[in-house]
Structure 1
């Protein structure tokens, strides 16, 4: 079955709260720069919320990018309690979901697919 309407609304509210906190409240140096919460998936029973994180890094160095991603995830995990408390204040839920932070790889995948399509188009010509 598909994701429920309620889980989608809760996920969107959680995404907004975390995004706002990244901009204004979280002062961890590991969370500096362009960090975006691209989506939040909430389980049916609202016990877990998987938060997908994108770090926009224009350096082009893949090793630095992976290190930066690991640091950002560490920073978010260390602020997990503060984030959950804020979610509990703003959203009236019986149980605030446990937060799981994952790197969103959809942009990398999209670039890879574009590259494959360009190669196919180039081979056709």
Structure 2
């Protein structure tokens, strides 16, 4: 099975859906932030390993605590995944904090600030040119 095969894509989607549900409803650990989502899942073609990219809406401390909580509940999550999805092998899970959403928001804010600064500079130049014409 190739990495980009249709079967692998379907397995990734199914694992992502079930992982999201297990994290949202199954785990009672107080360290896990309520606004936690599974952004993406990559299951290896041999179904032995799985990287789950987790996004947390909150500060950096909440993100670290959530990842720690997920790592401590890894056995439970894997057992639930095996119960819910019929796969030849239940993949070994690795939770990775995904900060791409936060990075995108930060970059968007910086672009807006630069754009606003350019507009203000243009407005000031326009006022100076109007004064010179008078």
**TM-score tier (shorter):** 0.7 to 0.9
Match for residue 106 of structure 2? 112
Give the match for residue 17 of structure 2: 16
Distance 1:46 1:23 in 2: 23
Aligned-residue offset at 1:4? 2.5
TM-score (norm 1): 0.82
Gaps of 5+ in 2: 120-134
Structure 2: how far apart are the matches of 1:23 and 1:115? Answer: 30
Structure 1 distance, partners of 2:43, 2:15, is: 9
Larger Rg: 2
Instruction: Please say if residues 36 and 53 of structure 1, whose CA atoms lie closer than 8 Å, have aligned partners that are also in contact.
Output: yes
TM-aligned CA deviation for residue 26 of structure 1: 0.9
Deviation at 1:14, TM superposition (A): 1.4
Question: What displacement does 1:123 show?
Answer: 4.5
Gaps in structure 1 of 5+ consecutive residues: 58-64
Aligned match of 1:82: 76
User: Equivalents in 2 of 1:23, 1:123: separation in Å?
Assistant: 42
Q: Where do residues 90-101 of structure 1 align in structure 2 (5 Å cutoff)?
A: 90-101=84-95
Give the match for residue 31 of structure 2: 30
Is contact 2:33–2:56 with CA below 8 Å preserved after alignment?
no
Measure how far apart 1:2 and its partner are: 6.3
Q: Distance in 1 between matches of 2:64 and 2:19?
A: 18
Report the TM-score when normalising by structure 2: 0.77
Q: Structure 1 residues 112, 2: CA separation in 2 closer, same or farther (over 3 Å shift)?
A: farther
